[in-house]
Amino acid sequence: MDLHDYIESGVIESYLLGLASTEEVQLLDRMRSLYPELNTEIAATEYKLQKLMQEEGVTPPAKVWNKIAERIAPHNREGYYSRTGKQQGGADPLTYVLQPRNNTITVSIWWRCGFIALVVIVMALLASSIYFYQQFRNMEERLMRLYPAAVEQRSPAHQ
């Protein structure tokens, strides 16, 4: 089988979407071991699908997620494990396999510049607040030094 024809057949897309049969998955695994460039093609196709989903995707309403969560909640079905670790019910326990994804966040240069400007402004405000607080304390000390002298000068005059 020609590799280009195999790639164009749509097996990679169905594999990534979880629609491939077990035979197709096994064949793809064998082809991946024979042709390492197939891994690159799978990664590129996965990137294209993710980009398409981000650009064209529509966020479902919250009530849709609530219905899905209710359907897959382990306590609503038989065969879940209790807190003691013993299996309840006669069915096999439910297993959820979560695979982490390599999600990266890109930040615009304008946001970075804005954040840096914000930090500089906050530091300047902090420095000016400290400076004016020290000036206030110095003025208060000078005033307190002068105040007793003013009170003593007025006291003999009032008596």
Q: 32-77, pLDDT tens digit by residue?
A: 998 889 999 999 999 998 888 888 877 778 788 778 877 787 655 5
4 and 35 assigned to the same domain? yes
How many domains does the chain fold into? 3
75 and 38 assigned to the same domain? no
Q: How confident is the prediction for the chain on average, in pLDDT?
A: 80
User: In the chain, helix, strand, coil percent, each to 5?
Assistant: 70, 0, 30
75 and 122 assigned to the same domain? no
8 and 33 assigned to the same domain? yes
Q: 118-133, pLDDT tens digit by residue?
A: 999 999 999 999 999 9
pLDDT above 80 (res 140): yes
Q: Give the structural domain span for 81.
A: 67-101
73 and 52 assigned to the same domain? no
- Distance CA(35)–CA(13), nearest Å, equals 17
pLDDT above 50 (res 27): yes
Residue-wise burial string across 68-91, b where 16 or more C-beta atoms lie within 10 A, e elsewhere: eeeeeeeeeeeeeeeeeeeeeeee
Q: Residue 99: its pLDDT value, please?
A: 67
- Distance CA(134)–CA(115), nearest Å, equals 29
- What pTM does this model have? 0.38
pLDDT tier, 83 (very low <50, low <70, confident <90, very high otherwise): very low
17 and 34 assigned to the same domain? yes
Q: Is 81 helix (H, G, I), strand (E, B) or coil?
A: strand
121 and 85 assigned to the same domain? no
8 and 42 assigned to the same domain? yes
Q: Residue 73: its pLDDT value, please?
A: 73
Which of 5 and 132 is assigned the larger pLDDT? 132
pLDDT above 50 (res 85): no
86 and 46 assigned to the same domain? no
111 and 158 assigned to the same domain? yes
Residue 15 CB neighbours (<10 A): 19
Q: Residue 107: its pLDDT value, please?
A: 81
145 and 113 assigned to the same domain? yes
- Distance CA(25)–CA(14), nearest Å, equals 9
95 and 110 assigned to the same domain? no
